[in-house]
Amino acid sequence: MYRSSRLSPRFGLTGVMLVLALVLASPAGAQNVAREKAVDRLNAFASEMLKNRPHFIGYPVNQDTELEGFYTWYLKSGLYEAAMNNVGDPFKTSSSLLNSHSFEKEVIDYFAPRFGFHKDYWGFVTASGTDGNNHGVYFGKKVLQAKSNLPPIAYVSEEAHYSIKKLADVQGIELRLIKADPMGRMDLADFEAKLDPTRPALVVIAMGTTFKGGIDNQMGIDAILKKVAPPAVHRHLDAALFGSILGFLPPPASDLVNSAKMGFDSIAISGHKFWGLDEPAGIFIATKHVRDNINPFQVAYLKDAVPTITCSRSAISPLKLWWKITFSEPNVFEKQAARLIANAEYLHAELQKLGIKSWLNEYSNTVFFQRPGQAVMDYYGLAPDVHPEQGELAHVLVMQHVSKDLLDAFIADMKKDFGK
């Protein structure tokens, strides 16, 4: 643990008292004591976070960050002395000297084919899943405006992430909430009933809803869009967590996040979920058609057009993602994705064996079940939800750090809690 300074043990008690008195008497000494206290506080904070980390299983965050190599390089290279900024378009030669655009573009180039964008695509590293959704909604609106003068309507299921509701509100787009079935998937009959044939449609499709891991039926949504035929359509995929899992599973799972096969126009995934970044980040990828239809707002002093809503952007998170995809073992992400699904199936089966009500969607790492007592909820950091038929619920997100042993400990705690 880091210490800012140490007292020598050779001082006697009087010596120590004397030094202490002198130290406290001088302004510099008082400052040192304050610094020492601040460092102690930080150390205590770090211990607390690290103590909670291993059994934090209620949120979609991979706690195996594996960034030690990155930070060692970062310190050794001295790059921490530079304040970089990725403002602008990573797909253009930038006028700024201090950015990591070239690495950012390579990150997008790595992910684009995974999501079925083989050429004519564009993207950037976002600040979060919500930031990616913000761009999906905004760019969708711009593309629809380029095709029709009529105001668009955004459609999203009630189980989709709450960011979509907020973003439609911020961007002044009329929102129609579509019912979801008990497994968290968009109710297609309700979508058809609410789809307006006279106004452009901005459909936000959930690839893994936050609480239940529901995957909206894209083929079903498409069939309804064709049947009802609104004047223009834009499909944005919110694949914050599941994009990374599905994209690294074999077909037919990977087909669900394949733009060439499914026909969606843009996709957002998070960088701090499956990818284990230790700070919020994400990836946004769209067809070049989307990129060409937005207002890029030429900025004279940047000698560039800035297509993103966010201006200043992190130059570090693209480097962390680049580090992960460059230095990780071959096929490690495919193996991780398969393990998450297998472990989720194990947890679901064990809870059912105990007679505890549990549910799991296909291709999902999100097991949701009858809510246990508050002590179990608190220890594992579980999130609550409630459903009119399923009752009070909680869920576990089986991420990379959630081992079989940890699941066994959790199952034993559930067994005890439910008196089984």
Residues that bind ligand PLP (CB under 6 A): 60, 128-130, 133, 161, 163, 206, 208, 210, 238, 240-241, 270, 280, 282
CB of 25 or CB of 386, closer to ligand PLP: 386
Other beta carbons within 10 Å of 149: 7
> Could you tell me which residues are beta bridge partners of residue 298?
305
Shortest reach from residue 132's CB to ligand PLP, in Å: 8
CB of 60 or CB of 372, closer to ligand PLP: 60
What is the crossing angle of helices 316-327 and 68-77, to 10°? 120
Amino acid making up residue 11:
F
CB of 144 or CB of 397, closer to ligand PLP: 397
DSSP-assigned letter for residue 420: -
Shortest reach from residue 270's CB to ligand PLP, in Å: 4
Structure tokens given for 56: 């934090």
Shortest reach from residue 182's CB to ligand PLP, in Å: 18
CB of 163 or CB of 244, closer to ligand PLP: 163
Long-range CB contact pairs, 350-359, < 8 A, 24+: 350/407, 350/411, 351/411, 351/414, 354/411, 354/414, 354/415, 354/418, 354/420, 355/418, 355/420, 356/414, 356/418, 356/420, 357/390, 357/391, 359/182, 359/183, 359/212, 359/390
> Which residue has the closest beta carbon to ligand PLP?
129
Please report the DSSP string for 207-256 in residue order. BS-TTT--B--HHHHHHHHHHH--S-EEEEEE-TTHHHHHTTSPTTTGGG
Shortest reach from residue 310's CB to ligand PLP, in Å: 13
CB of 208 or CB of 230, closer to ligand PLP: 208
3-state secondary structure of 390: coil
Shortest reach from residue 240's CB to ligand PLP, in Å: 3
Q: Report which of 368, 270, 381, 335 is spatially closest to residue 48, judged by C-alpha positions.
A: 381
CB of 100 or CB of 270, closer to ligand PLP: 270
Q: Report which of 298, 227, 226 is spatially closest to residue 263, judged by C-alpha positions.
A: 226
Shortest reach from residue 323's CB to ligand PLP, in Å: 19
Secondary element (H or E) of residue 206:
strand 201-206
CB of 61 or CB of 201, closer to ligand PLP: 61
Residue whose structure tokens are 């995934």? 269
CB of 40 or CB of 169, closer to ligand PLP: 169
Q: Report which of 127, 125, 123, 98 is spatially closest to residue 112, judged by C-alpha positions.
A: 123
Shortest reach from residue 374's CB to ligand PLP, in Å: 22
Measure the CA angle with vertex 32, ends 29 and 33; round to 5°.
90
How much helix, strand and coil, in percent to the nearest 5, is found in the chain? 45, 15, 40
**Phi, psi for residue 404 in degrees, rounded to 5:** -60, -40
Shortest reach from residue 361's CB to ligand PLP, in Å: 13
CB of 280 or CB of 296, closer to ligand PLP: 280
Shortest reach from residue 149's CB to ligand PLP, in Å: 31
CB of 238 or CB of 304, closer to ligand PLP: 238
Shortest reach from residue 39's CB to ligand PLP, in Å: 31
Q: Where are the beta strands (DSSP E) in 271-371?
A: 282-287, 298-299, 304-305, 358-359, 366-370
